[in-house]
Structure 1
Amino acid sequence: MLAGLALEFKLDAFVYSSTIPPGPDLDDAFDASHRSKREIELYCKSLGERGLNWTIVRPGFFMENFDGFMGSLAVAILSQGLRKETDIALVASDDIGKVAAGVFQNHGRFTHKTVSITGGCLSMNEIKSAYKDVLGKQMPSVPAVFAWLILKLSSGAQHV
């Protein structure tokens, strides 16, 4: 694993990009992807006890996930699958790169730290409203019935 090699070769900084957990703490990871990321975070932290200078960055939901056809599908599924009051931590992918570069340039300041990267937290209604305010049109979305069907049939989508 890369973290083990970083320790072996005594790298000055090791940055692992994870994800903001779906709940208040790491134990709220209920799908394989989030559980795997949680395990890697814990592994990096354990290597820190042996000298690894780790930093974990946790980006939010990429705003670019709303682009194109897949984005219109994401809009519909999130609109149908989330409670109205559920906020989504949003981030632009360019911002992740800038934060990661800053971590590398100032690695001493960020050693053994976890940094969540988000441009803000909004509900789907707030996201759609902001989209309309800025672009003057509705946010693209597939029909709600299609999203409802996916939510009923897809075990992965059911954990939204």
Structure 2
Amino acid sequence: MSDGKSILVFGATGQQGGSVAAALLKAGWKVRALVRDVAASKSVALAEAGVDVVRGDFDDAASIRAAMQGVDGVFSVQPSSPGGTVSDEDEVRFGIAVADVAAEAGVGHLVYSSGGAVRETPSGLGHFDSKARIEAHIRTLPIAATIIRPVAFMEILVMPGFGLDQGQFNFFVQPDQAIQLLAVEDIGKYVAAIFADREKFAGETIEIASDAVTGSELAAVFSEVAGRAITYARFGDDVLAANPFLSKLTALVDAGRLAGSADFDALREMNPEMRSLREWLAGTGRQAFLQALGRAGNWAYNA
């Protein structure tokens, strides 16, 4: 239980940090968030929800140190290079800085969000290997730490460029191949469970997911929600040849690293409310899916 303890959340105005802040508040924790602009609309919304919003920046170690004063735990997540705002080296530097300050400040529990494709051996993609470097550094520190490895977000399914506007869906897997997916809203619930039981989860590395579906199952669920037929096909060879980044991601799915290997039985104990794809499409994902049906575009991550 939280017992009135406080958690500093990084990235609280984004997807992962926002999910974590909301879940911690619901569980009764005191939540502090480090933001670059306390007057921004998302920061104001956090404050109105009961979050202690403080100004700071990954490049400002003093602001990180000040934000950690008096907190019992830290949720650490950094921006990644596919977003186009930072380099892989920036991400490593930021992740190590947060972990180092947490250890120096005597924080009781650090939870670091890595990536589902991260392993001890390199993946060949910088934004996964950067997270592996942060993980390795955290394991050297004198701090109780838990590493989570989120699989691919369900939210990626409604990005432009997968063909939904044309009545089809093109993705990484073969029609009969399964991939694990994660609803962003579930991230916070897993993290809240981890903070609630430090003795159980300290030292653990946990892959987190919400559901597993094949390409054919994606088409069936999408068709049901859309009210019309949505066909499925894996990315064509011409598409993969024209986009090296997409091709590398697809190869990692085939190798199993991006297909996901989360233990659903263990995760269900942590979060009995974990969302299936169908439940996500009926809830928080519905509006974005309906918009994607009528929105053309290109694959957004091409670096």
TM range (shorter): 0.7 to 0.9
CA offset digits 1:101-140 (Å, max 9, x no partner): 2212222221001111112322222222233345543458
- What is the TM-score with the length of structure 2 in the denominator? 0.44
Q: Does 2:162 correspond to 1:64?
A: no
CA offset digits 1:43-85 (Å, max 9, x no partner): 11122xxx21110111111111112425548x4242xxx4444
CA 1:99–1:35: 2 relative to 1, 3 Å:
same
CA 1:130–1:28: 2 relative to 1, 3 Å:
farther
Aligned length: 149
Structure-to-structure mapping, 1:7-156, within 5 angstroms: 7-21=103-117, 25-27=119-121, 29-47=123-141, 51-70=142-161, 72=163, 75-78=169-172, 82-139=173-230, 148-156=237-245
Q: Distance in 2 between the 1:46 and 1:138 partners?
A: 52
Q: Distance in 2 between the 1:139 and 1:35 partners?
A: 35
Q: Distance in 2 between the 1:44 and 1:85 partners?
A: 38
Q: Does 2:101 correspond to 1:5?
A: yes
| Greater RCO, CA 8 A, separation 6+ | 1
Letter matched to residue 9 of structure 1: A
Q: Does 2:247 correspond to 1:158?
A: yes
CA 1:43–1:139: 2 relative to 1, 3 Å:
farther
Q: Distance in 1 between the 2:128 and 2:100 partners?
A: 21
- What is the TM-score with the length of structure 1 in the denominator? 0.78
Contact 1:29 1:38 in 2 (8 A): no
CA 1:54–1:127: 2 relative to 1, 3 Å:
same
Letter matched to residue 121 of structure 1: A
Letter matched to residue 181 of structure 2: L
Q: Distance in 1 between the 2:143 and 2:115 partners?
A: 20
Q: Distance in 2 between the 1:85 and 1:28 partners?
A: 27
Question: What is the root-mean-square deviation of aligned Cα atoms in Å?
Answer: 2.7
Where in structure 2 are there 5+ consecutive unaligned residues? 1-96, 251-303
Higher helix share: 1
Which is greater in Rg?
2
Where in structure 1 are there 5+ consecutive unaligned residues? none
2:217 is paired with a residue whose SS is helix
